[in-house]
Amino acid sequence: MNIIIVGGGMVGKNLVQQLSEDGNNITVIDLEEDNINAITTKYDVNGIVGNGATHRIQQEAGIEDADLLIAVTGSDELNLLCCIIAKKEGKCQTIARVETPVYRADADYLKEQLGLAMVISPEYVAAKEISRLLRFPSAIKIETFANGNVELLKFRLPEGSKLAGMSVKEVVTKLKCDVLICTIERDSDTYIAYGDFVFKDKDIISIIASHKNADEFTKKVGFETHSAKNVMLAGGGEITHYLCEMLPKHGMNVKVIEKDRHICEEMCSDFGKISIINADTSDIDILIEEGVRDTDAFVSLLDLDEENILLSLTMKNLSKGKIITEIKKADFDAIAKNLDLDTTVNPKTITSDMIVRYVRATQNTLGSNVETLYNFIPGKATAAEFIVKENSPIASIPISELKLKKNILISSIIRNGHVILPRGNDVIIPGDSVVIVSEFMPLHDISDVLK
């Protein structure tokens, strides 16, 4: 596909990395020459310095031949204007990033009236991710495949875990759980879960299962399975506003700590049933007084990554609940992993991943049969969903006889809405939905898994 990306910030860079690896022709537009130089030096893409919301710059970028324009600058209005011009000048699809809650509320209207393929808000999708995690507090990350029939969940094994010292192949026989363990993250290394791999405390494991079987597995290994009931949010920004709308619908009691009195007054007006506390989150005594020791979950959503990280580390010593930390900058993602934080959420990374999934689904209609692809261990492991077509090279052959590439795992088969966790004698048939876990590599077609 010919893709134009307007905006060379973190979201734009993430998109360039993933979409260029898929073999797309990418042109990036940004006002800052340094951003363009950094991107074109690192990736085999075209770069243009200029305003992407102008007719001249879009023409220079090749809008007439473009299949898709993605506007992800820091300005909502600029992004929407880019898409309007692109629709007038070319025949491409358009995606706009919007951050202002007012525009987010009009997302369906904007899509219809402006002919946009997608309107995406980083803060909104981050809030959705946090909401999912609070409904399953033991998980670090949750993804779904096959219209929600299959879940991919990541957990960190605690000290004294039942799985420590147990091999992957022993999990099914000893615990009698119908789940498939996909990957293990240990220190800075990632391993595809082969049968003889032995677990250690603090390993991060990824499993694939139906919702029912995932719930059974987590109970047997001693994880918390009930959703959080009492949630404390630090900071009164846009993600917090979205969570104040979402969480009560799931029966959660929400308390917000915000030091700006004006923001507190606005939130009291908007959310009458939410407890809003005007206080500084750096005052630990106030947090204790407000019940942080007994809360089921604490979510740090302050303006600065440094403040979020320090606050979350402090809460790990005060609270037994789930700790979720917002990270905005890419540089802090690696730092956060080394600090043993519970769960981190990066709105910009989630946004770029969702856009990439949409692009890959679009490509499905152009010859590739990837339905969904999650980069669930960034740069190291992917999970891809495929629909198996007639005459597929993996169809009608027992899985044990398929000549798979190294570090490829067929993790689930979905047939007529039923989830099959594949064993050696199972056979994939046309029409099946198949989820493949692999080391980070481009997978455009199901045949790519074969040697």
Can you read off the two tokens belonging to residue 289? Answer: 């007084």
Per the document, the length of the chain is 451
Q: Are 345 and 140 in contact (CB under 8 A)?
A: no
Q: Are 426 and 397 in contact (CB under 8 A)?
A: no
User: Which residue, chain included where needed, has tokens 């956060």?
Assistant: 336
Q: Are 89 and 7 in contact (CB under 8 A)?
A: no
Cα separation, 300 vs 78, in Å, equals 30
Residue 324: what pLDDT? Answer: 94
Residue 74: what pLDDT? Answer: 92
> With left for phi above 0 and alpha for psi between -120 and 50, is residue 3 left, alpha or beta?
beta
Q: Are 279 and 257 in contact (CB under 8 A)?
A: yes
Cα separation, 239 vs 138, in Å, equals 21
Cα separation, 32 vs 65, in Å, equals 25
User: Which residue, chain included where needed, has tokens 């990837």?
Assistant: 370
Domains of the chain: 2-120 (3.40.50.720), 127-220 (3.30.70.1450), 230-345 (3.40.50.720), 353-449 (3.30.70.1450)
The yes-or-no verdict on residue 169 having pLDDT over 70 is yes
Q: For strand 230-234 and strand 297-300, is the pairing parallel, antiparallel, or unpaired?
A: parallel
Q: Are 370 and 363 in contact (CB under 8 A)?
A: yes
92-115 mean pLDDT: 88
| Predicted confidence (pLDDT) per residue in 85-103, tens digit | 999 888 899 999 998 888 8
201-216 mean pLDDT: 84
Q: What is the end-to-end Cα distance of the chain in Å, rounded?
A: 26
26-55 mean pLDDT: 95
Q: Are 233 and 217 in contact (CB under 8 A)?
A: no
Residue 427 has a CB neighbour count (10 Å cut-off) of 15
Residue 414: what pLDDT? Answer: 85
The yes-or-no verdict on residue 368 having pLDDT over 60 is no
Residue 365: what pLDDT? Answer: 47
> With left for phi above 0 and alpha for psi between -120 and 50, is residue 25 left, alpha or beta?
beta
Query: What percent of the chain has pLDDT above 90?
Result: 45
Nearest to 290 by CA among 280, 303, 300, 277: 277
Residue 441: what pLDDT? Answer: 65
> With left for phi above 0 and alpha for psi between -120 and 50, is residue 379 left, alpha or beta?
left
Cα separation, 359 vs 355, in Å, equals 6
394-414 mean pLDDT: 87
- Whole-number average pLDDT of the chain: 87
Residue 425 has a CB neighbour count (10 Å cut-off) of 9
pLDDT band of 404, cuts 50, 70, 90: confident
Residue type for 118, please? M
| Predicted confidence (pLDDT) per residue in 339-365, tens digit | 778 789 999 988 998 898 888 777 654
User: Which residue, chain included where needed, has tokens 């010593």?
Assistant: 317
Secondary structure element (H or E) that encloses residue 382, with its range: strand 381-387
Residue 369: what pLDDT? Answer: 63
